[in-house]
Structure formats: C-alpha cells, structure tokens
Amino acid sequence: MQNPLLDHSALPRFSKISPDHVEPAVDSILEENLQTVQSLLAEGGPFSWESLVEPVEGLDHRLSRTWSPVGHLNAVMNNGPLREAYNRCLPKLTRYATEIGQNESLFRAFEAVAADGNVSDRPRRAVLEHALREFRLSGVALPPEQKARFREVMEQLSSLQARFEENVLDATNAWSRHILKADKLDGLPDGVLDRARETAEAKKLKGWLFNLDFPTFYAVQTQARDRDLREDFYRAWSTRASDAGPHAGQWDNSANMTDILALRSEAAKLLGFDNFAEYSLARKMAGSVRQVLDFLEDLVARCRPAAEAELAEVRDLAGHDLEAWDIHYYSEQLRQQRFSMSQEDLRPYFPVDKVLEGMFETARRLFGISIRSSEPVGAWHPDVRYYQVDDQDGSRGGFYVDLFARAHKRGGAWMDECIGRAKLEGVDDLPVAMLICNFMPPSGDRPGLLTHDEVVTLFHEFGHTLHHLLTRVPYPSVAGINGVAWDACELPSQFMENFTWRSEVLPMISGHHLTGEPLPEETLQRLIESRKFQAAMQMVRQLEFALFDFRLHSVGRGLSRAEIDETLAQVRSEVAVVNYPEFSRPGHGFSHIFAGGYAAGYYSYKWAEVLSADAFSAFEDAGIFDQDTGTRFLNNVLEVGGSVPAADAFIAFRGREPSPEPLLRVSGITS
Ligand SMILES: [Zn+2]
C-alpha cells in the first residue's frame, strides 16, 4: 500500500494516515533530499537559479508536505503511537537541518548564484538572501574549530533550555493547596471550585485541592476575596523554579539562567556579532539594538503616567495600599463596577456560524475574495470544515477550520501551514492553511457560542490564515508567512483583531442564537469602551518584560546572578507602577526568553502591535471597508510574504515609517 504521506498530488488524506506511516515517509524524504543535494553539487558549477536554487526550494517543499500533516495530527489528534513516531523523527529533522545549514559546498554554490548577477527578480533575490543568511547564522562560514564549537554551544543551549522549562513545569506541578473551609473560597467561580473538588476526590481528600496551573492562579488573583489565599498563590507562582518561596532551592533555575546567557553570548560572538541581541535582530525587522531600546523606552515614557493614574483608581476603590496580590482582584471589581458586563454575558450573541459569516464578509469587502464552504475530504475529525478561497480570476487556495475543544487536542489557538504556495519546475501548489481553536463545543440544541475574547482570537488566527493564503510569491521559503521578519509576523493577525471592536463590524458578526437579534446598541458601546480598560497598566507590564529581556541580551558577555537581579531591579524602577515584593523571581519562570524562541525578541509583541494599529489607522482614516486601502494592504503586505523586507512592505502600504500614536490612541492612553 502506498504511504499517504508521500502522496503530494492533492490535499493530505489525514484520515488515512497512521503512526506506522510516519517514520518510513520521513526517512525516505530526508534520504532522497540529501542524495539530491549531493548530486546537484556533484554536477559542479557554474550553478544557476534553475540548476540549483529552485531544485533546493523543491526539496524543502516536499519535506514540508510530508511533515506538516504529521505535526498537525500530533497536535490535534494526539495518541501514544503517533507521539512516539513524531518524537522519533524530531532528532532526524534537526540533524538534517544542521547537515544542510552547515554544508559549505552548498553555501558556496548559493553564494556563486547570488554573485553572478543573473538573478534580478525580487522574490528570487529574496530566496537567495534568506538562504545565505540562514547558512551564516548556522555557522557555515566559520573555520573548522569554531564551527565545531558553535555546534557544541547550540547543542548545550538546547538541552539547558529544555531543562529550564522542565524546572518551571516541575516546580509548578509540585505545589498545591488543600482547603477545607468553604468561606476561604468566597468569590471563586464554580468551574474552578468544581475542578478543585474533583482533584481532592481523586486523592481521597475532603474539601478542595487546588493546583498552580495558570487558569486557577488567575482565578484566585482576580476573584478570591480572601487576601491570604491570594498572597499564598502569588508567592508560589512568582517564585517558581527559584531560590525563594515555598520550594526554595528545588528546581532552581539560577545556574541555568547564567549558563544560558553566557552560551548565547558566546554563540553570537563566534558569528561576529557584538551580543546576542544583535544576533537575534538578524532575523527581525528592527534595525539595531539601539532602535529597539529607544522604541521600548519611548513607550514607557508615554504610558507610565497613564498606568499610574489607572493604578490610583484601583487603590481608591480598595481604600488601602495595594500589594501585588491585591491588584488583579480590585481591578476586576472596578471592571465590573464600570461595565457591569462579563465575557459570559455576551456569549449568546456570538454563535460560531454568524461570526464566521461576518468575518468572511469582512474579508470580501476588504480584499475582494469570496470564501465558500466545501467538502472536507479526508479530514481528521467530523468537526472539521473546509473553505475554498477565490478571487475574480480563480482559486487562491483553501483552509481547514477546526474550532472546538476535545480530548487529545492541544490547547490554545493557532494557524499552521498545510501546503505552502509553490510554483516550481513540475509543481504548482496553491496554499492551504489550518485554523485551529479550542472553543466550547455545541451541546444539544445550543450551537457553539463564543465570548468576545474568543471572537478576537478567531479574527487573529484568520489574519495569519489570510497572510498564508493570499501570497503571490511562487517560492515556498519566502511565500506567505515564511521568511517574514519575526517581529512583523503578527502584523496581519493583530490587524484583523481591530475589526472586532468596531461598530460597523459588530452587527455583522453578532446575532442572538435564539432570536437572531444583534447586540443591543448600549451593550455594543460598553463593549467597545471596555477595550481601553487598564490598557496602560497592561502595556507597562509587557514593556517591563521586554526591556528586561532585551537588556539581558545586549550586554555582550555572560551575566552573574547578581547582575541579572540588578538588571531586573533597574528595569522595574524605570517601568513598573506595581510594588513588587522582595521575594518575587519572575526571571526564573520566564520560559519565553530562557527556554524558547523569544530570547531578545519579547519586544516583538509590542513592535507588531504598533505596526498593526498603525496599519489599521489607515482604514480609520479612509473608511473601515475602503477598497483602495484594502487593495493596498493586500498588495503590499499580504501578497508579498517574506519577499520584501518588512520595513519596506510597511512603508509601501502606509507611505511612511510606523508610528506608535495609533496604538496609544486605541488603547485610550492618549486621546
Ligand atoms: Zn499570532
């Protein structure tokens, strides 16, 4: 029987893929790819776009067509054998990537093609530039000794980063709070209490047993009336994996932090950068370390007074000085007092089908595309839908939508590439995306109903989907979201979020599931107004993380534990409005930067938010559904993918450099 993972003639047949198919398919593709690279190089020069670069693009495309359905099924239909097959392939893929990335002959051949001047087409130049950059960032051009050291440093980093994350997980899992008296739990929502009671029962305990997962922690901080309970949870949460708090010294990440920073600095210096922040910026839109620091420091200066004013309102309501564990609680009280509206109250007005219909209509008006439902042949679950996307000239691609939470499906929401756009010798694939959420499923007669937060999430992922689907670039490595600077990736997604806050759009996406009535005007206005609630406090909180991260990575050498603490204290004194307790150790649990891809990149959240708000302000000026502006956004941002530098793409659309003013205005920080 043919392996369905190796059949690239149509959409993947997800329902036919079994765990047994995974490893043989990946093995055969990797082996064939490496052999093809060898025989391409064996032909000797002179190399050209046609004889070298395009065939290599084709190899990556084949690999991604085989691997993408596997990664996807592992995320949405997880089971033991599949997970094992998936995990067995990961090291093989890493080895393959290193082998390609550090292949000096291949690198020199790409260099020769770039140098001979025959490739002038912009997307082709972008393919070459991206490939050369990735070679260099893999250490391909280093002398043998340094090349080996670079590989060693990267391997050590990946295991230290994994250990950092494990410590955070283990420390989180190790803590729990057993409570016998109901009055201690005043204010907590039923869902959280039910779960805590079940957890206690499972351990044959009376009362309630709480874990330290984020939803529980957050519910306690925002809703528990008992101040000691809030402090208890706060202390446990803010000292995870550190030398302080209830498990001080166990799973302590202190040494991992200093080791990780030292190794990152060494890796960056081996490649000729001054510091790790500079290395990180090689893949980003921001031009320099100074530019990022200026960007963050400028936002701090603009937001801090508003954040202080917001905090003063909370203090007034509380009637006493606020500790860190009081702020969320009194903020929530203030929110209810001001808007008397909860997320749950709005749910009946946002039935899934109505929201999708209005969202597709929004895209039709903006970008002239039509989206129609079609049979999801060979999909992975009965909930899955499939949509075809067309414009006046024909098909642009399609996307799967899998909206509801279920067992064995990873939490959260995301967009993933199913098939990348590729028009190469012998291949003509249109893009296909997968839009995944975890909303509350329908039950009985009641359809799937969304909170407004979830509507925002859906629009966000739809923005990524459009970015992937509407590309005009024929080469997969720079088509759609591929090759887009990391700090600009969230531009289309956050851009789309803006529409969910507009009085022109809300009536299109809302209708009570029983009566069909749109959101009442007065509720709609309160909802729109609530967007600005404590926006400045949230902003300075994000800026504090971003500055801490960026300063740690821009020093140019490793830092001692004391220096890390000093950096944190300094950032807090400049940025934070909250009075943090001496014991808190936020760095020790900061997996985004110490364990993962956001190292010297946490600022990207704010950076892209500035871009998206500024892009959206062009629509505020011209009209929310203005077609010319829509077409300009389509042509200059969505269609070009990674083939144009993000800064150029933005300026081509907006006619000027990005400005933070629109973000400050929609957040209510300036008027
Ligand atoms: Zn996103």
Task: Over range 535-543, report the average pLDDT.
Answer: 96
Ligand 1 midpoint to CA 463 (Å): 8
pLDDT recorded at residue 213:
85
Same domain, yes or no: 125 and 184: no
Model pTM score: 0.92
Chain-centroid distance, C-alpha 429 = 26
Q: Which among 506, 530, 554 is the end of a domain?
A: 530
Task: Over range 65-72, report the average pLDDT.
Answer: 96
Segment 546-564, tens digit of pLDDT? 999 999 999 999 999 999 9
Considering only residues 213 and 315, tell me which one the structure prediction assigns the higher pLDDT: 315
Task: Over range 560-578, report the average pLDDT.
Answer: 96
Q: Give domain status of residue 466, yes or no.
A: yes
CATH code, 71: 1.20.1050.40
The backbone torsions φ and ψ at residue 340, rounded to the nearest 5 degrees and listed phi first, read 30, 55
Report the 10 Å Cβ neighbour count for 630. 23
Ligand 1 midpoint to CA 606 (Å): 12
Ligand 1 midpoint to CA 414 (Å): 7
Look at the chain and report how many structural domains it folds into: 3
Same domain, yes or no: 519 and 423: yes
Q: Output the six-digit token pair for 160.
A: 């230290």
Ligand 1 midpoint to CA 172 (Å): 26
Q: Give domain status of residue 23, yes or no.
A: yes
Chain-centroid distance, C-alpha 333 = 30
pLDDT recorded at residue 195:
87
Name the CA dihedral angle for 168, 173, 179, 180, rounded to a multiple of 10 degrees: -170
DSSP state of 189: -
The percent of residues above 70 in pLDDT, for the chain, comes to: 100
Same domain, yes or no: 215 and 103: no
Sign of CA dihedral 597, 60, 23, 14: positive
Task: Over range 646-667, report the average pLDDT.
Answer: 96
Same domain, yes or no: 382 and 459: yes
Same domain, yes or no: 130 and 181: no
Q: Give domain status of residue 281, yes or no.
A: no
The percent of residues above 90 in pLDDT, for the chain, comes to: 89
Identify the band that residue 244 occupies on the pLDDT scale cut at 50, 70 and 90: very high
The residues whose Cβ lies within 5 A of ligand 1, an ion, are 490, 493
Task: Over range 56-68, report the average pLDDT.
Answer: 97
pLDDT recorded at residue 118:
85
Burial class, 516, CB count within 10 angstroms (exposed 0-12 / middle 13-18 / buried 19+)? exposed
SS3 content of the chain, % helix, strand, coil (to 5): 60, 10, 30
Give the residue among 301, 171, 229, 201 at the shortest CA–CA distance from 588.
171
Q: Give domain status of residue 89, yes or no.
A: yes
Ligand 1 midpoint to CA 482 (Å): 14
Q: Give domain status of residue 658, yes or no.
A: no
Q: Which among 530, 548, 583 is the end of a domain?
A: 530
Sign of CA dihedral 311, 315, 317, 318: positive
Q: What is the mean pLDDT of the chain?
A: 95
Q: Which residues are CB-contacts of 431 (< 8 A; sequence separation ≥ 6)?
A: 396, 397, 417, 419, 420, 421, 468, 469, 471, 479, 480
Task: Over range 367-384, report the average pLDDT.
Answer: 96
One-letter identity of residue 617? S
Q: Which residues are CB-contacts of 10 (< 8 A; sequence separation ≥ 6)?
A: none
Which of 258-272, 317-331, 583-597, 645-659 is the least confident region? 583-597
The whole-angstrom separation of Cα 116 and Cα 40 is 18
pLDDT recorded at residue 412:
84
Same domain, yes or no: 365 and 459: yes
Identify the band that residue 410 occupies on the pLDDT scale cut at 50, 70 and 90: confident
Ligand 1 midpoint to CA 457 (Å): 9
Task: Over range 66-75, report the average pLDDT.
Answer: 95
Same domain, yes or no: 93 and 181: no
HSE-CB for 625 with a 13 A CA cutoff: 14
Ligand 1 midpoint to CA 215 (Å): 21
Q: What angle (nearest 5°) sits at the alpha carbon of residue 504, between those of residues 502 and 509?
A: 85
Q: Give domain status of residue 286, yes or no.
A: no
Segment 587-606, tens digit of pLDDT? 999 998 999 789 999 999 99
Q: Calculate helix-pair angle for 561-575, 289-318, nearest 10 degrees.
A: 60
Same domain, yes or no: 132 and 226: no
CATH code, 399: 1.10.1370.40
pLDDT recorded at residue 354:
97
Which of 225-229, 284-288, 315-319, 516-520 is the least confident region? 516-520
Task: Over range 88-96, report the average pLDDT.
Answer: 90
Ligand 1 midpoint to CA 461 (Å): 6
Segment 376-388, tens digit of pLDDT? 989 999 999 999 9
Same domain, yes or no: 134 and 192: no
pLDDT of 1 > 70? The answer is no
Which structural domain, as residue segments, surrounds residue 35? 4-141
pLDDT of 456 > 80? The answer is yes
Segment 98-133, tens digit of pLDDT? 899 999 999 999 999 999 888 889 999 999 999 999
Ligand 1 midpoint to CA 460 (Å): 6
Exposed e or buried b per residue across 30-48, where buried means at least 16 C-beta atoms within 10 angstroms of its C-beta: beebeeebeebbeeeeebe
The whole-angstrom separation of Cα 178 and Cα 430 is 55
Burial class, 246, CB count within 10 angstroms (exposed 0-12 / middle 13-18 / buried 19+)? middle
Active site residue 54: no
Task: Over range 33-55, report the average pLDDT.
Answer: 94
Report how far apart the first and last C-alpha atoms of the chain are (Å, whole number). Answer: 66
Which of 295-299, 438-442, 642-646 is the least confident region? 438-442
Task: Kindly report whether the peptide bond that precedes residue 581 is cis, defined as omega within 30 degrees of 0.
Answer: no
Q: Give domain status of residue 304, yes or no.
A: no
Ligand 1 midpoint to CA 371 (Å): 21
Task: Over range 83-98, report the average pLDDT.
Answer: 91
One-letter identity of residue 401? V
Catalytic residue among 454, 461, 490, 544: 461
Sign of CA dihedral 61, 63, 65, 70: negative
Same domain, yes or no: 361 and 448: yes
Same domain, yes or no: 135 and 195: no
pLDDT of 645 > 90? The answer is yes
pLDDT recorded at residue 66:
97
pLDDT of 355 > 70? The answer is yes
Same domain, yes or no: 34 and 97: yes
Cα–Cα distances in Å, from 232 out to 188, 210, 221, 252?
15, 12, 10, 19
Ligand 1 midpoint to CA 597 (Å): 14
Q: Give domain status of residue 504, yes or no.
A: yes
Q: Which residues are CB-contacts of 397 (< 8 A; sequence separation ≥ 6)?
A: 389, 419, 421, 430, 431, 432, 433, 469
Task: Kindly report whether the peptide bond that precedes residue 46 is cis, defined as omega within 30 degrees of 0.
Answer: yes
Ligand 1 midpoint to CA 360 (Å): 19
Identify the band that residue 206 occupies on the pLDDT scale cut at 50, 70 and 90: very high
Task: Over range 607-613, report the average pLDDT.
Answer: 97
